Chains A and B, each alone.
Chain A
Amino acid sequence: MSARKRITRPQLERTEPMRHWPTLFGMAGSGAPQTEGKAGPAGRRSLNDAVSRSVDLGYRVIDEYIRQGQRAAQRFTDRSYSTQAMTGDVQELAMRVGRYASEFAAVWFELMQAAVTGVAQRQTAPPSNGARATAPLSPSTAPSAAQATTPGYATAEHARVRIVMTSLRPAELSLDLRPDAAARPLLVHALRAVDPDTPRVTDVVFEAAVNGDPPTLRLRVPADQPAGVYNAVIVDAETSRPAGTISLRIAPE
């Protein structure tokens, strides 16, 4: 090996042919013929290659996108948020998705029901102070000061879920679960706040329904957990599809 510095090719200003320079000058749509040689040699020479290259690149990007979309269209059959297409940390993504999903999901049910049964749609119950609209739950058995939840939407079926929450601080929990999901094996990972530096609430688990007992969500909130909103996505353990969301709000001291 040599100690001399390695020589490399120079950087180039332009790497693409200019296939249609009238467009590049912003004269597109005019289709004006250039037989008299408008924009003489000097003008052409000063034209930045970035313009022509960007057009070519732009077409490649969008054409590839469209091509992929056609292929993916068959894969994407239902309304779930497929995590396959996402890059980066799935959990973080799922958290963001979960935030939207919790809103969409609830309203979606209403719309689906209205579309199916023709029932006039209900008004969204405005969130009352400190509580959020949730799927019907059996009352929580937490020993702490968990606020009472107000029943929100009626769904076609009831999904019973038992919640056991341990917390020394005032906290409220809302749970949105697809009705058919209660019978499935469910998983929930740690609940995360928006700020990635905030510690997660990890002591949370979904216990499957057994012997006629409803599935149980067990959750423990550490005493030093910072105030804020934490979310998690409930995932169907077998299909890896989102089945619902959990939102936990810890009140400030």
Chain B
Amino acid sequence: MGEPRPVKVAIIGGGCASVAAAFELTRPEHNGKYQVSMYQLGWRLGGKGASGRGPADRIEEHGLHLWMGFYENAFRLMRECYAELNRDPGQCPIADWRDAFVPAPQIGVAERSPDGTWLTWKAMLPPTEGLPGDGANGQQRWSIVDYMMRAVALLRTLFETIQRQDDGGHLDGAEYSAASWSDKRSPGVVLDGISQLLKYGELATLAGLTQAVGFLEAVFQSLSLYPENIILRLLDAVGSNARRLLEARLEHDVPLRRAWQIIDLTLATLRGGVRFGLMTDPRGFDAIDEYDCREWLRLNGASESSLDSGYLRALYDLGFSYENADASRPRIAAGQALRSMVRAFFTYRGSFFWRMCAGMGDIVFAPLYEVLKRRGVRFEFFHRLRNVKLADPAALEPGESPYVEALEFDVQAEVKEGREYAPLIDIRGLPCWPSRPDYSQLVDGERLEREGWEFESYWDERRARPRTLRVTDDFDLAVLGVSLGAIPYVCREIVARDPRWRAMIDHVRTVATQAFQVWMSEDLRDLGWNDKPIVLCGFAEPFDTWADMRHLIAQESWPHRPRTLAYFCNVLPDPDGSNGPAQREHCQAQRQQVRLNAIRFLNGDVAHLWPNAVDASGEFRWDLLVDPTEADGAGAPAAGEARFASQYWTANMNPSDRYALSLPGSSAYRISPLDRTYDNLTIAGDWTACGFNAGCVEAAVMSGRLAAHAISKSPRLEDIVGFDHP
């Protein structure tokens, strides 16, 4: 008979999930069993993570991409990729993964105080042992009880820290220690101690509170031995006594107020965990996914001021968690929110946040492209998926599942001489993706350039020719890695026939996003920001997140280097509240809107962050902006607002560029890559039911690994970190 022929896998879409799937399927262990072809529209991989290089080789991103220290799957992917790539550090400035990713430990939350000024609350989360992606994670199986105990330990640390401050120490930058109180007293003794505390009002002192929290730790260690109402009474008592004790000082002592907000929210979480039986619920955190996070915390006794704290606002901001992109409707599924928080705070390795040292395309997708090419993956750029065609149900044999019969593409442009398109450019030794395609490689390239073909735009349907891939002839199995926003357009048949897919697109919603980047000629210190580089959330609408990206300037090729680089981003409401992809004519209008938003923002709110960036009349000093096309003395430079035109901004409106939300009640409608309804199709993306149902790189990589498992049973599910997790 001979060797069985390789299985042809078509992966559609070149985002995080797709490349992760490709990386798994082409591992040497598979011995070439899977022949992978990746189909991507336009000229670059990356999807929402794609980036380009514009004038002065400046990095142009979709938005802000932060990696977190608990992204075990994503980091492991990148570390393996860089190791396999084995770049020569003499040739390439970013050769090792530690050149690519560096710790960024400082995060901040902006808070508006009653008198209108903005305060920033900076948290320095201490570095922890190990590095993300280190592996050997099989033993690290967290349960909700474990997290509860960590939360109680956090409480104890906060109380101890407050006490230390009272005794003359300093509260800012509250560190917490993970050491837990392991005095193994018997339940009877502990219960006696608790009753004592409750009865005799000793909780009215800080020392008493600390002791009470110690009892809480003992209780959570053996939860089943204690009656629920005692636990709740203790939590309530700690909360009310702490509030009473600290209340008088909260208004003036800002650091104390922040510590109290964390204490309050932690107590509410613990109370909720007990009342909702989360410790024993087989669904884990999913059990409370019907609630919005704030709503759930409120139900469990959190005060309004804690619910309004910068801490929670940051959580919502980082996840773009605004229904319909409406800033007045922050909504996130409570279960997923808790899951994100406990993973982020309790399981991060190395640093809480990590930064990339160049554009995401350069750091993530160029190396992955190179490794995958070496492994034999075939890349078909300029292929836009139009339709996933199912086999006629009447023609199915008895017992046969429905399946994908054909994949219909538009070939947007042909490559000359039928060669494979070479997508990368070299920027001082670093392979990068350009901001525009290389027309010289394309048939009729000059005409396409002249006519302004927008290969990445959903609305530009021009093409060279159609192309249909047929099952068994051209592909055996398909991985659908296009984003959720595109599904209604490319899977019309499936959506029409399959109520679960219809329910998914009805309930799992997306939002468009907006972003802008400014390069300025003065240092931030001179502009009035005296602190270390930061990522700041919770700031003024419409750009509530600011990231200081000065470390990237060196990667760009400026004749006169800017001193400051700032990224801003947020959600972008759909025009007329339509909550769906806009019409083509809206694209220009939205782009214009983002520009206006940015200008207004720079004229108005940014002064709170950079007081010296505005002139005496309060207007933004437009001359600060560095224009990449200006050479010294070449013509009259633009003045005033018009200078903004030289900067970079984007309205991410393409359906596949929309960001998937985790709205309350929506995670039940997500479909898993492991779902086998269509026996030759799987899906991949952060919008799927991938275990960590939130829009982030980690979820995307997990889903890609799940898609690979669906095809090859590898990696084992137990090896996908965080999949088996409450």
Contact = CB atoms under 8 A, between A and B. Distances in A.
A and B touching (Cβ–Cβ under 8 A): yes
B403 interface: yes
Interface of A: 1-2, 4, 6-12, 14-24, 28-35, 37, 41, 44-45, 49, 52, 55-56, 59-60
B398 interface: no
Contacts of A44: 141, 718, 724
A9 B682 contact: yes
B7 A19 contact: no
B91 interface: no
Interface size class of B (residues with CB under 8 A): 35 or more
Contacts of B223: 31-33
Contacts of A37: 139, 141
A17 B222 contact: no
A28 B282 contact: yes
A20 B668 contact: no
A24 B282 contact: yes
Contacts of B723: 17
B268 to A, nearest CB: 19
A16 B681 CA distance: 18
Interface string B703-726: 000000111110001100001111
Contact of B724 (A4, A7, A18): A18
B472 A2 contact: yes
23 contacts: A1-B472, A2-B470, A6-B403, A6-B472, A6-B476, A8-B477, A9-B676, A9-B681, A15-B676, A19-B282, A19-B725, A20-B282, A20-B726, A21-B143, A28-B282, A30-B224, A31-B223, A33-B146, A35-B145, A35-B146, A41-B139, A59-B282, A59-B283
B221 A33 contact: yes
Contacts of A24: 282
Interface string B651-695: 000000000000000001000101110011110000000010000
B356 interface: no
A20 B280 contact: yes
B726 A41 contact: no
A15 B673 CA distance: 9
A42 to B, nearest CB: 11
Contacts of B220: 33
B187 interface: no
B713 A10 contact: yes
Interface of chain A, main secondary structure: loop
Nearest to B682: A9
Contact of A34 (B143, B471, B473, B681): B143
B144 interface: yes
A237 B223 CA distance: 62
Nearest to A6: B472
Contacts of B222: 32-33
Q: Across the A-B interface, give the 6 residue pairs with the lowest CB-CB distance, nearest first.
A: A19-B284, A33-B145, A15-B674, A7-B476, A55-B282, A8-B679
B8 to A, nearest CB: 8
A1 B406 CA distance: 11
Contacts of A2: 470, 472-473
B279 interface: yes
B680 A7 contact: yes
A29 B282 CA distance: 11
Given A9-B681, A33-B149, A35-B149, 12 more contacts: A2-B470, A4-B472, A7-B477, A8-B477, A9-B477, A10-B713, A12-B713, A19-B283, A19-B285, A23-B282, A31-B145, A32-B224
Contacts of A12: 674, 676, 709-710, 713
Contacts of B138: 41
A9 to B, nearest CB: 5
B460 interface: no
B472 A55 contact: no
Nearest to A21: B724
A32 B146 CA distance: 10
A83 B674 CA distance: 38
A180 B521 CA distance: 91
A58 to B, nearest CB: 9
Contacts of B691: 17
Given A6-B472, A60-B668, A11 B676 contact: yes
B398 to A, nearest CB: 15
A52 B717 CA distance: 13
Contact of B472 (A7, A33, A52): A7
A95 to B, nearest CB: 31
B555 to A, nearest CB: 39
B281 interface: yes
A52 B279 CA distance: 16
B286 interface: yes
A230 B674 CA distance: 51
Nearest to B716: A45
Nearest to B286: A19
Interface in B272-319: 279-286
Contact of B680 (A1, A6, A33, A45): A6
A80 B528 CA distance: 77
Contacts of A7: 7, 472, 476-477, 680
A89 B726 CA distance: 44
A30 B225 CA distance: 8
Nearest to A54: B282
B329 to A, nearest CB: 23
A10 B149 CA distance: 40
Nearest to B722: A17
A20 B281 contact: yes
A12 B724 CA distance: 16
A60 B691 CA distance: 17
Given A11-B676, A20-B284, A6 B471 contact: yes
B718 A56 contact: no
B401 to A, nearest CB: 8
Contacts of B139: 37, 41
Contacts of A35: 145-146, 149, 221
Contacts of A23: 280-282
Contacts of A60: 668
Q: Quick one: which of B473, B711, B717 has the most chain A CB within 10 A?
A: B717
Contacts of B675: 15
Contacts of B724: 17-19, 21, 44
